[in-house]
């Protein structure tokens, strides 16, 4: 079974509603409640909640949910990838809830955040979870979606990195439920992100405690954030990775028969190694450096030079052993900008 409803997240000053659509597949149903659409699902069956486009320029997650929708509501047939027949909604032993566009405000602007005129308190929706029904626009939007997400047994928050970032999945370090879900999604690189007492000061400085994944994990809901490659464009390879990941998550949580593909990748620590620009100028990464490469502490990764005098301002070097999971390709950089992101490998976790 598949049902969907238009969902009002908040209202603009003019009274125009900010709307999105919520879908349910399988045993559950989106029904009309006293306060708008709500989920009805059997108590004894698992629920997965998946959303995309919290940041409006990150569109590959939306394309993933569309492709998954086509498979679930279409006729059963060969998937063409060696996996046999496509699953349909009738095959789900539980309920999948999806929201393809979590933040219409940024989606319409192809932006990461909203302008100050719309939400000066919290322009980034992914910093205000679980939201506040009496707060700012993003607070209210998050609270409305939280009504669906908080009842789930697992959550997948689909994001999209830049073209110069390796596809990876972020999960809460030390949480076995999150780790298992991340492995089931299947990206080669997993980034373990600490929180609470184990986190560094960057969490407080950047408001990471309000991330959707963090809020859900703290409620005991295994949650992951896959970062698919390429923002602003729908890339078939990224979409295929996302659909395969969602099928793996559905199998891991028992909504589909079978086991996820065995995972054999790399785990690294997130948000630690950032090779930053010591001065403003033009950055030229070393020609042999590619996203996903292993780098060593002290290894040269590029240089920043003055475009007017041609003087080398900085020879950029990795500050730890690890994996170059992002490399800045836009040459013009300002002081403090991240040139290369280095994720430190974690062994035995």
Q: Where are the CATH 3.40.630.10 domain residues in the chain?
A: 2-268
pLDDT category at 242 given cuts 50, 70, 90 is very high
- pLDDT(222) > 80: yes
Question: Which range, of 116-120, 131-135, 312-316, 344-348, averages the lowest pLDDT?
Answer: 344-348
Q: Which uninterrupted H or E stretch holds 333?
A: strand 332-333
Structure confidence at residue 201 (pLDDT): 52
Return the higher-pLDDT residue of 229 and 98: 98
Structure confidence at residue 77 (pLDDT): 41
Place of tokens 């062994």: 347
2-268: CATH topology is: Aminopeptidase (3.40.630)
- pLDDT(305) > 90: yes
- pLDDT(197) > 50: no
pTM of the complete model: 0.91
Each residue's pLDDT tens digit, 24-70: 999 999 999 988 999 999 999 999 999 999 999 999 999 999 999 99
pLDDT category at 16 given cuts 50, 70, 90 is very high
Nearest-angstrom CA–CA distance, 60 and 235:
7
272-345: CATH topology is: OB fold (Dihydrolipoamide Acetyltransferase, E2P) (2.40.50)
CB 159, CB 229: distance < 8 Å:
no
Structure confidence at residue 86 (pLDDT): 78
Structure confidence at residue 194 (pLDDT): 79
Q: What mean pLDDT is predicted for residues 213-221?
A: 95
| Backbone region of residue 94 per phi and psi (left: phi > 0; alpha: psi in -120 to 50; beta: other values) | left
User: Of 25, 147, 154, which Cα lies nearest the Cα of 97?
Assistant: 25
Structure confidence at residue 162 (pLDDT): 84
Nearest-angstrom CA–CA distance, 21 and 216:
21
Each residue's pLDDT tens digit, 98-147: 999 999 999 999 999 999 889 988 999 999 999 999 999 999 999 999 99
CB under 8 Å to 124, separation ≥6 — which residues?
55, 112, 113, 138, 207
Angle between helix 236-252 and 60-73 (nearest 10): 60
Each residue's pLDDT tens digit, 73-82: 985 444 434 4
Helices (H), 76-206: 104-109, 137-149, 176-185, 202-206
Q: Where are the CATH 2.40.50.100 domain residues in the chain?
A: 272-345
């Amino acid at each position: 079974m598949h049902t969907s409803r238009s969902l009002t997240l908040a209202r603009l000053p003019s009274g125009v509603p900010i709307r999105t659509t919520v879908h349910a597949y399988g045993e559950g149903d989106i029904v009309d409640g006293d306060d708008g659409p709500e989920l009805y699902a059997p108590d004894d069956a698992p629920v997965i909640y998946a959303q995309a486009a919290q940041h409006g320029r990150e569109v590959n997650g939306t394309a993933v949910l569309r492709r998954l929708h086509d498979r679930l509501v279409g006729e059963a047939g060969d998937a063409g990838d060696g996996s046999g027949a496509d699953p349909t909604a009738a095959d789900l032993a539980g309920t999948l809830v999806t929201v393809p566009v979590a933040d219409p405000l940024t989606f319409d602007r192809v932006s990461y955040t909203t302008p100050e005129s719309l939400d000066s308190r919290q322009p980034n929706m992914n910093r205000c979870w679980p939201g506040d029904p009496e707060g700012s626009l993003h607070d209210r939007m998050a609270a409305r979606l939280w009504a669906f997400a908080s009842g789930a047994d697992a959550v997948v928050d689909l994001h999209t990195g830049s073209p110069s970032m390796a596809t990876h999945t972020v999960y809460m370090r030390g949480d076995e439920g999150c780790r298992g879900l991340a492995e089931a999604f299947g990206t080669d690189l997993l980034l373990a992100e600490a929180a609470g007492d184990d986190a560094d000061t960057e969490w407080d400085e950047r408001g990471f405690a309000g991330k959707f994944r963090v809020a859900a994990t703290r409620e005991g809901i295994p949650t992951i954030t896959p970062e698919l490659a390429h923002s602003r464009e729908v890339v078939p390879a990224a979409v295929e990775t996302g659909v395969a990941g969602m099928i793996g998550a559905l199998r891991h949580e028992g909504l589909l028969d079978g086991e996820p593909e065995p995972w054999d990748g790399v785990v690294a620590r997130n948000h630690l190694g950032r090779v930053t620009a010591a001065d403003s100028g033009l950055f030229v990464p070393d020609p042999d450096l590619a996203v996903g490469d292993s780098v060593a502490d002290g290894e040269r990764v590029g240089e920043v030079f003055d475009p007017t005098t041609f003087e080398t301002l900085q020879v950029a070097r990795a500050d730890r052993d690890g994996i170059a999971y992002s490399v800045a390709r836009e040459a013009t950089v300002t002081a403090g900008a991240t040139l290369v992101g280095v994720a430190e490998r974690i062994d035995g976790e």
